[in-house]
Amino acid sequence: MGDNRRVSEDRWAPLADRSVGGHCGSLRGRVRTYVIDQHLRWHLPDPPAAVVDVGGGAGHQALPLARDGYHVTIVDPSPAMLARAGELVAREPEDVRDRVSLVQAAGQDAPEALGGRRFAGVLCHGVLMYLEEPAPFVAALAELADDEGVVSIAAKNQRCLAVSPALAGRWVEALAAFDADRQVNGLDVDTRADAVDGLSQLLSDNVVEPVAWYGVRLFTDGWTTDLRPLDNEEDVLAVELEASRRDPYRQLSRLFHLIGIRHRAEP
């Protein structure tokens, strides 16, 4: 695994346990990881291509790729998150461990922290919602992508912020959410939402052509353990995956997953 780089403040340390053990390990978290992983397999080049996961946290999205032969670099500003990633990587077989590098750096600093290296796949999932201004971050993602490289971004869906509070019976909050672009998430953090067309334009501004988008997590977003126990989680995953690529279901999903291709810049 690669050396970490220092970042002055670890804002994620207080949330690391809740994020890794609770949020990512919940049904909602497993649905998100699975659906995004399937989308990635439709677009990424075959292994052993090199992939960087910016804001990759504990590596839940990156590790399945490493197991399948991809060379994965996880970049995250949080020492606490990277420590969790290191623990998970340490449990893997030696060949998988050898394909994973951990780098501590903020997203905007990733191109410099990685020495100008470029990747066949650049992943950024669930990060933009924590940023007030996404444009510099998207520019850094584009800079990391090799010619014809894939840029993969998962963001909160601004067009359907009323769905989650409405399903939970929080009607006043749901009514306000129709015209909102912010919402408190499952980690009790105030987050910002994006629209597919707006984020697509940011990619285009950085020589990345948007080629596809999908929904992420619709039917299970309001699922809680007091509901009927699951008979077969594979059926749940299959339904969520199918919904992710069909209208109108993808439009109502909690997140959207945008895929772009960075084309060779004109000389």
Task: Say if residue 22's pLDDT is above 80.
Answer: no
CA end-to-end distance (rounded Å), the chain: 36
Q: What percent of the chain has pLDDT over 90?
A: 76
Per-residue pLDDT band at 246 (split at 50, 70, 90): very high
Q: Is there a contact between 41 and 64 (Cβ–Cβ < 8 Å)?
A: no
> What pLDDT digit, counting tens, does each position of 253-264 carry?
999 999 999 997
Task: Say if residue 11's pLDDT is above 80.
Answer: no
Q: Pull the structure tokens for residue 218.
A: 């619709």
Element (H or E) spanning 180, and its range? Answer: none
As a whole number of angstroms, the distance between CA 252 and CA 192 comes to 17
Which residue type occupies 34? Y
Closest CA to 134 of 109, 160, 113, 108: 108
Question: What local confidence, expressed as pLDDT, does residue 95 receive?
Answer: 97
135-144 vs 196-205: helix axis angle to the nearest 10? 50
Phi/psi for 22 (5° steps) reads -100, -65
Q: Look at 232 and 17; give whichever has higher pLDDT.
A: 232
Question: What local confidence, expressed as pLDDT, does residue 4 receive?
Answer: 42
Q: pTM for this one?
A: 0.90
As a whole number of angstroms, the distance between CA 69 and CA 1 comes to 15
Q: What percent of the chain has pLDDT over 70?
A: 87
27-43 vs 233-244: helix axis angle to the nearest 10? 50
Across the strands, what pairs with 155?
Answer: 256
Across residues 59-83, what is the average pLDDT?
96
Map out the domains of the chain as residue ranges: 13-262
Task: Say if residue 43's pLDDT is above 90.
Answer: yes
Farthest-apart Cα atoms in the chain, separation: 59
Question: What local confidence, expressed as pLDDT, does residue 21 receive?
Answer: 57
Q: Is there a contact between 51 and 123 (Cβ–Cβ < 8 Å)?
A: yes
Question: What local confidence, expressed as pLDDT, does residue 20 receive?
Answer: 61
176-181: long-range contacts, CB 8 A cutoff, minimum separation 24: none
Question: What local confidence, expressed as pLDDT, does residue 3 receive?
Answer: 40
> What pLDDT digit, counting tens, does each position of 127-149 carry?
999 999 999 999 999 999 999 99
3-class secondary-structure state, position 15? helix
Per-residue pLDDT band at 231 (split at 50, 70, 90): confident
Across residues 155-171, what is the average pLDDT?
91
133-137: long-range contacts, CB 8 A cutoff, minimum separation 24: 134/194, 134/199, 134/202, 135/202, 135/205, 136/108, 137/107, 137/108
Antiparallel, parallel or unpaired: β 100-104 and 71-76: parallel
The CATH code of the domain at 13-262 is 3.40.50.150
